A and B are shown apart, each in its own frame.
Chain A
Amino acid sequence: MIPFIAVAVLVLLALAVVVYLKQRGPALEAIDGLPMTRLQKCAWWSLTIGLVFAVAIVALFTVRGIEAYDRDPSMQLTVLGLFIGAIMTSLLIDPFSLPKRDGTDVSDERDLRVLDRAPRVQSVAMILTLAAWLTFLTLRYHGAGAVPMVFVYLIFFSSLIAYSLGLSLGVLMGYRKMARYGES
């Protein structure tokens, strides 16, 4: 029960950050001497919150063991909550192509260029995630000739998390590359 409450608190905290960012925007320090755009700030928050959820999932499986997932419904709920929380962090970035309620733009051509290029990082993140699973499962279960069913879910959800975090990472790398090389 306690892990489930912890997940609920994490999800609520993430939601509170989403609401706060949409209303006021966070205050983060500039990088490379350039002021951070709203999209850039939100990408930092999204990446940070997403990583907290991802680390919580890894910690849960490390402490309880992978086999516990099949026989413990509360652990299944907890893991599901954490995965949903991690994936939801991409909601911090998605609305950036839309204007604010008062009609003013929160993004311009530079932000949209960065957003357009971010999916390149997303695909690399997903391929690396799948490669990591392939290596881990092969090393651990090659002798047995079969893989427990729980990994099917874990591979799917971890790919979704990589997709979500990859967007934030892609946005941050895009701004850094633009600032460093002055590219258009």
Chain B
Amino acid sequence: MAKAEIRNQIRRLRFEHDEMTQQELAERAGCTRQTIVVLEKERYVPSLALAFKIARTFGKNVEEVFQYDSPDIP
């Protein structure tokens, strides 16, 4: 089974929200700036709780921020 990928729109959304800095987003979502960096590079899959916090920071639903790309599931 091919590996599933979690994509996200965090970088785009930050810029759409008055060019919010990574530090600001981290403080609002309750994580460190380093975690925002690895999330934007799609090198880390967050917990559900953190995904919800980030989505709510942008006033979006989780699926508007994070997308699940799996070659096995249409």
Chain A interface residues (CB < 8 Å from chain B) = 34-38, 105-111, 178-179, 182-184
Contacts and interface: CB of A to CB of B under 8 A. Distances in A.
Contacts of A37: 32, 34
A111 B47 CA distance: 13
Contact size range, B: 10 to 19
A110 B38 contact: yes
A179 B43 contact: yes
Contact of A184 (B33, B37, B41, B45): B45
Contacts, number: 49
Given A107-B32, A109-B47, A182-B45, 5 more contacts: A38-B32, A109-B49, A109-B50, A110-B44, A179-B38
B20 interface: no
A111 B43 contact: no
B32 A183 contact: no
Given A109-B47, A109-B50, A36 B34 contact: yes
Contacts of A178: 38, 43-44
Tell me the dominant secondary structure on chain A's binding face.
loop
Contacts of B38: 34, 110, 178-179
B50 A34 contact: no
A183 B43 CA distance: 7
A35 B32 CA distance: 11
Contacts of B37: 34-35
A106 B30 CA distance: 10
